[in-house]
Structure formats: structure tokens, C-alpha cells
Structure 1
Amino acid sequence: MYDVAVNRQGMALCPFHNDRHPSLYLADDHYYCYACGAYGDVIDFAANFFGLTLYEAAQRLVADFGIDTDRPPTKAILEKCRQKTQAQQLMENERLCFLVLSDCARVLRDWKVRYGAGHTG
């Protein structure tokens, strides 16, 4: 509906940077761009895509897709919202690993400066 063509593998050209090869992965519950790192859920996507606040993006999705906001969510939907999907857990683990590796790299660079070859202190 928003003119984002998705291939069979769930990949598309990322609208958040100048993408020439599909790098945006679209799943049922999230998106992630392997090139620019953009990620989030459908509301985040709409907010970034249209330059809206999260609330405005949610309102736009309700209007564009005819979502009935007067009907309360079912138990199944509420339970699904509480559970992290496997993809969300993997993305969280990836971010944590990146932070740890970044810290290690910083420490190693510091050690190289302090104790590297030719250092006499």
C-alpha cells in the first residue's frame, strides 16, 4: 500500500537511505535494514516513512487499513504482544554483542596506545 515492493525473501529497497540493492527485511512483526540499521515495528516504519510521531503514525495506520479501534484486542493478540518473537530476541542479542565487542575494541585500542611497541613508560 505504501509502494514498497517486497520480494519473495521478504526484502525490499530501504526507503530510509539511498538503496540500490534490497537491504530492508520485512517480517510480520518487524523490519530491519542490513545497510543502515533502521529497525522497528509497523508503527516505527510508518513514523519514519511519513515523518510522523508514533501517535500520528498509529492514527494513519488505523485510517489507511480500516482498523476498528472500538473493538478490544483478543486474548491471543495480547499474549502475542507480550512475547518476544525469535527475530526480536536475535536482534536484541545482536545489539548486545555489538556493544560488548565495541567495548573490547576500545580497550584493545587503549592498551595498544599505552603498551604498544616502542613504549617506554
Structure 2
Amino acid sequence: EQHTDFIFSVLAEEWGFAGSIFLVIIFLILLIRGLNVAYGCRDPFGTILSVGISAMIFWQVVINIGMVMGLMPVVGVPLPFISYGGSSIVVTIFSVGILINVSMRRFMIE
């Protein structure tokens, strides 16, 4: 299960502390960008959708890292964009695509 549920421990072993912190910072940047998209939305549906997608990805990261560190029980939540698995990565990529679409709708002329 190292390539699915415990991929963060493998990456931490290979990249060290600096690589682990870098990966967490990348996910935090993704969260902040998603919340900025939500803040700039004109319609409430886009705001709720952006916050929901950002929260979904962020909580997957929190649960996976907490699971690897032994702070949470092992529940089988993959690390977004990194863990091996077809359906998880497809849903995450589609979710980010929807987030990009919501951010582009800000610039449409009504």
C-alpha cells in the first residue's frame, strides 16, 4: 500500500524534511488559490463550489498526512495528484478543471 495510502512516507524518505515541507507548501498554495477564486466569484454557486473543491482537496491532504504520521486511523484516503489510483486522480483533476472554469467565469462579459 505504499504507492496508494502511504505515498507521503515514501516521498518523505526519498526527499527528506525539505521535500516534505515543499510538498505541503504546494498543497497550501493550491488551497489559497482556490479560496481566492471563491472570494472573487460574482455568483454564490461559484463561491460555494470553489470552497467545496478546495476543502475536498485540502482535507484529503490533511487526512493522508495525519494517517501517515499515526495521528489518524488508516482509512484509505489517497494523497491528491500523487497517489496511484485511477478514480481518485481523475476526480481530483476534474475538480481542479471546474475550479479553473469558475475562475475564468469572473472575466466573462455579461
Tell whether the structures are fold-level matches, with TM greater than 0.5: no
Structure with bigger helix share is 2
- Normalised by the size of structure 2, how large is the TM-score? 0.26
- Normalised by the size of structure 1, how large is the TM-score? 0.25
Rg larger in structure: 1
